[in-house]
Amino acid sequence: MGGFLSEGFGVFLGMTLLVSGPAAFLTGQNQAESWAPWWKVALYVLLLLVGQRFLAWALFHAAPGHPGSILANGAVLMAIALAAWRATMARRMVRQYPWLYERTGPFSWREKSPA
């Protein structure tokens, strides 16, 4: 392709959304379930990105250190993992402390007002 991505757009979508995307989602969920902070999610996504770039290189001859591919793949995987982490944290806070918090959306909660 020679442009922003070292691999084609189909390979980008397939490798990022179908292979690494679910792994990023489960990483975010798992870290939220263990009450880990968001920066741990980011560390695990970096490891996942290294594995994803290796697979893209090994299977599709993509340049492993291509800056555009690293940025695009990393941004998508980070967004998926952090969204899963935040949604799981919101669900856990409300489920574990129902007398203190109520859901205000898929990613947020608030303190219940005294009645």
- In tens, the pLDDT along 22-59 reads 999 999 999 999 999 999 999 999 999 999 999 999 99
**Is 84 a residue whose pLDDT tops 90?**
yes
For residues 29 and 66, which has the higher predicted lDDT (pLDDT)? Answer: 29
Q: Using alpha carbons only, what angle is made at residue 87 by residues 74 and 112, rounded to the nearest 5 degrees?
A: 145
CB 41 within 8 A of CB 28: yes
**Is 1 a residue whose pLDDT tops 50?**
no
Q: Which of 111, 102, 88, 91 is nearest to 25 (CA)?
A: 88
For residues 106 and 7, which has the higher predicted lDDT (pLDDT)? Answer: 106
Q: State whether residue 23 is helix, strand or coil.
A: helix
pTM (predicted TM-score): 0.90
Q: Which of 47, 50, 63, 65 is nearest to 11 (CA)?
A: 63
